[in-house]
């Protein structure tokens, strides 16, 4: 089991976020994942640092923590070949530490940046599938000429890339994308707080279905979930516009480590092996130190 930290790029500027993420490694987190947004969830006080540049700084400032996106969209405002170059550079600089988490995207990020008309899920999924195929070819082949439905290259070569291609993890909140993760990816990403039946009856079975369709063993994919956690006072402050009970239904709200364990355990028992913790409070240093001191050792001792 791996325990990670979600660097909240929508909430903090790049320098401050880098300090928090370096602290995460120091206090014992296994990974740091960052989102790749062109625009944050809110305008006032929001942030949206460029993830690939920021990950380069994080890799250089840390020694062993895994680093990656959760998630980026290599389909609209980025051409997959340019993304392959960026991620290949990161992988060459920090071998065996980089994970490229991808998703089908959100109009919030791509429409303002490009002015496109936001397409339906079928096209977004098709673009992601094709982008993954192209990026993997660019990481393993020379002089790649590619003629896809959405993307093309002519004699393209990525000159700086790791000996082993960077693993691609696919984020999914529905059955079709979950099956694609099982079929194509080295990892599956989802978020907590949506009810056990979604994970048990839909998402994880669809991942297995994709694995079987591709003839892959069940242990060939890592299952990651972003755990939304915080203590009651901070949650109440941030959710002032909503009833606390509604906010608490999607987040683990507790100041008691044993209660945190009790609410996290069901996800572990479902089969998730990489838990990434996202706390929305302003005092990230306090969260990281308290969680490392009181919760992470408990999780490792009780869940392995």
Is 106 one of the annotated active-site residues of the chain?
Answer: yes
Q: Which residue has the tokens 């099982």?
A: 182
Is residue 8 within 8 Å of 24, Cβ to Cβ? no
Q: How far is CA 267 from CA 15, 41, 241, in A?
A: 32, 26, 28
SS (H, E, C) 128-184: HHHHHHHHHHHHHCCCEEEECCCCEEEEECCCCCCCCCCCEEEECCCHHHHHHHHHH
User: Residues 115, 90, 168, 101: is their CA dihedral positive or negative?
Assistant: negative
CA distance 7 to 10: 9
Q: How far apart are CA 296 and CA 278, in angstroms?
A: 14
Contact 37, 10 (CB under 8 A): yes
Of the residues 25, 37, 226, 230, which is catalytic?
37
Is 242:263 a contact under the CB 8 Å cutoff? no
Question: Among 106, 186, 208, 236, which one carries the catalytic annotation?
Answer: 106
* Residue 1, strand partner residues: none
Cβ atoms of 64 and 25 within 8 Å: the answer is yes
C-alpha span between 188 and 217 (Å, rounded): 14
Euclidean distance between CA atoms 169 and 147, whole angstroms: 24
Q: Is 37 a catalytic residue?
A: yes
First to last CA, the chain: 6
CA distances for 19 relative to 13, 63, 105, 249, angstroms: 10, 14, 28, 30
Q: Which two tokens stand for residue 222?
A: 């890592």
| Residues acting as catalytic residues | 37, 106
């Amino acid at each position: 089991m791996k325990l990670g930290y979600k660097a909240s790029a929508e909430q903090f500027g790049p320098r401050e976020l880098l300090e928090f993420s370096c602290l995460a490694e120091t206090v014992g987190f296994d990974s740091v994942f960052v989102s790749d947004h062109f625009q944050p969830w809110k305008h006032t006080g929001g942030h949206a640092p460029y993830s690939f540049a920021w990950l380069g700084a994080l890799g250089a400032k840390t020694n062993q923590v895994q680093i990656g996106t959760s998630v980026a969209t290599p389909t609209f405002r980025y051409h997959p070949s340019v993304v392959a170059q960026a991620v290949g550079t990161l992988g060459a600089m920090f071998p065996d530490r980089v994970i490229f988490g991808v998703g089908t995207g959100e109009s919030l990020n791509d429409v303002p940046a490009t002015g496109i008309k936001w397409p339906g899920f079928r096209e977004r999924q098709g673009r992601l599938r094709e982008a993954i195929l192209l990026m993997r070819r660019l990481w393993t082949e020379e002089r790649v000429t590619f003629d896809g439905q959405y993307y093309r290259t002519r004699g393209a070569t990525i000159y700086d890339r790791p000996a082993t291609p960077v693993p691609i993890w696919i984020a999914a909140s529905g059955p079709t994308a979950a099956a694609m993760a099982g079929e194509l990816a080295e990892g599956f990403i989802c978020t907590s707080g949506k009810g056990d039946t979604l994970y048990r009856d839909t998402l994880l079975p669809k991942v297995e279905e994709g694995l079987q369709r591709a003839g892959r063993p069940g242990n060939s994919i890592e299952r990651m979930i972003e755990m939304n956690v915080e203590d009651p006072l901070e949650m109440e402050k941030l959710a002032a516009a909503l009833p606390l009970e509604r906010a608490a239904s999607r987040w683990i709200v507790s100041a008691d480590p044993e209660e945190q364990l009790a609410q996290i355990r069901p996800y572990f028992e479902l089969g998730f092996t990489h838990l990434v913790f996202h706390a929305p409070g302003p005092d990230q240093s306090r969260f990281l130190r308290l969680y490392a001191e009181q919760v992470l050792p408990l999780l490792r001792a009780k869940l392995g």
